[in-house]
């Protein structure tokens, strides 16, 4: 796992680069939040492939539990990936609603962050 530092809109942002799943449980998310928060980052970029498939199945409640912790610790989260492949209306609605705020955003590419 590699942490790459970016600055987007005057926010110190950490991007996690890995070919493996980084977050598959709430404990994984808490460890990552602590690590990134300790390093002084304001936001975190995770790629879809770094999240367990259960994250995108809202029935598991994994996404809700994890995103609640990001909110609690005031660490904004950007998830990069192709979310059109998910056929779940509830997930698509969740992504839409998340993108209306600033705490959690789902984007197709990092280019979407600079606009």
Dist. CA 37–CA 75, nearest whole Å: 7
pLDDT of residue 112: 65
pLDDT of residue 110: 84
**Integer distance in angstroms from the first to the last C-alpha of the chain?**
27
Dist. CA 15–CA 110, nearest whole Å: 10
Reply yes or no on whether the pLDDT at 115 is more than 50.
Answer: no
Reply yes or no on whether the pLDDT at 94 is more than 50.
Answer: yes
Reply yes or no on whether the pLDDT at 114 is more than 60.
Answer: no
Dist. CA 53–CA 34, nearest whole Å: 23
The distance of Cα 80 from the centroid of its chain, to the nearest Å, equals: 7
- Model pTM above 0.85: yes
- Kindly state the tokens that stand for 39: 């390093």
107 — phi, psi (to 5°)? -130, 155
pLDDT of residue 28: 97
| pLDDT, tens only, 19-48 | 999 999 999 999 999 999 999 999 999 999
State the burial class of residue 5 (Cβ atoms within 10 Å of its Cβ: 0-12, 13-18, 19+): exposed
pLDDT of residue 8: 78
- Kindly state the tokens that stand for 38: 């300790």
Could you tell me where the DSSP H helices lie in the chain?
A: 26-38, 62-72, 89-98
């Amino acid at each position: 796992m590699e942490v790459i530092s970016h600055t987007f809109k005057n926010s110190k942002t950490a991007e996690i680069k890995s070919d493996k799943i980084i977050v598959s449980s709430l404990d994984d998310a808490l460890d990552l939040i602590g690590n990134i928060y300790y390093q002084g980052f304001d936001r975190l970029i995770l790629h879809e492939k770094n999240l367990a498939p259960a994250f995108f199945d809202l029935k598991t409640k994994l996404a809700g539990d994890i995103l609640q912790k990001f909110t609690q610790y005031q660490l904004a989260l950007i998830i990069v990936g192709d979310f059109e492949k998910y056929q779940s209306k509830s997930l698509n609605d969740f992504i839409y609603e998340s993108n209306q705020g600033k705490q959690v955003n789902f984007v197709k590419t990092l280019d979407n962050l600079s606009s």
